[in-house]
Amino acid sequence: MGSFMSDITFKNPFPAGWQAVDQADAQAVVRFAAERFGSGLALASSFGLEDVVLIHLLTNVTEQPHIFALDTGRLPEETYECAERVRQHYGVEIEWYFPQASAVEELERTKGLFSFRASVENRKTCCGIRKVEPLKRALTGRAAWMTGQRRAQSITRAGLTVLEPDPAHDGIWKFNPLADWTLDEVWTYVREHAIPYNTLHDQGYPSIGCAPCTRAVQPGEDERAGRWWWEEPEHKECGLHSSPRSYRGNN
């Protein structure tokens, strides 16, 4: 493997056949992940456009997909409505994770309700409490997880690979089956398969997070311009996907 891997401890050996997966289409990647990791695989869903595509793909290859979501306490109502439509449409169970109440209470008592707009550090503190810590609990005991990240979404994701190690979560594996999809391709798939989706997408929200941290984008802006719009583009990650390097090395 590449030299940078020497300082990372992995929970599982790198999946056999990963080279083919890295070049495969999304359905093949999802099937590979489901067959290779079984109940050890979890799909993280924020019920954005990409995630509902992945739920559709996953339900095509397994009857009991493990899907989880992070309820930050500040999600738009439309996100909850989408989650419920998806749950009923596919007959799947969604495992919700919430931030620790004591941590949220302390944050809001000491820094107020909108401290995340004061600085990148404050915003990352809020994301850490509401997203990163619950994610760690959601992935405990898992062997791999799947996300809807795409390279075209932002400069912070331009180097994204289909399969990558995740040293931030005990060395489990992370699949990004839609890494090379464009937004138009995502929309085409959603429409062709009549997939339930978040209605905020029809109101100019290509990327949807917490309500106070998300706005509609303007013509010509990139897909994630509406996320933490007061920050510079290179800072626009919440900590869920902050793997320092991606892996395309050799075995």
Q: How far apart are CA 240 and CA 28, in angstroms?
A: 25
* Whole-number percent of the chain with pLDDT over 90: 66
Non-local (6+) Cβ contacts of 183 within 8 A are 49, 150, 152, 206, 223
Tens digit of pLDDT for each residue in 7-55? 334 445 555 555 666 667 899 999 999 999 999 999 999 999 999 999 9
N-terminal to C-terminal alpha carbon distance within the chain: 5
According to CATH, the topology of domain 13-235 is Rossmann fold (3.40.50)
Alpha carbon of 90 to those of 39, 55, 65, 93, 99: distances in Å? 18, 9, 10, 9, 27
pLDDT tens digits, one per residue of 120-144: 999 999 999 999 999 999 999 999 9
User: What local confidence, expressed as pLDDT, does residue 188 receive?
Assistant: 97
pLDDT in tens, 209-242: 999 999 999 888 888 888 888 787 655 455 455 5
pLDDT surpassing 80 at residue 65? yes
What DSSP string describes 165-191?
Answer: EEGGGTTEEEE-TTTT--HHHHHHHHH
238 annotated active-site:
yes
Q: Under DSSP, is residue 146 helix (H, G, I), strand (E, B) or coil?
A: strand
Write down the pTM of the prediction: 0.85
Q: Are 67 and 94 in contact (CB under 8 A)?
A: yes
CB-CB neighbours of 81 under 10 Å: 15
What is the residue-averaged pLDDT of the chain?
86
Instruction: Give the per-residue pLDDT at 94.
Output: 98
Of 80 and 170, the one with more pLDDT: 80
The residue type of 85 is: R
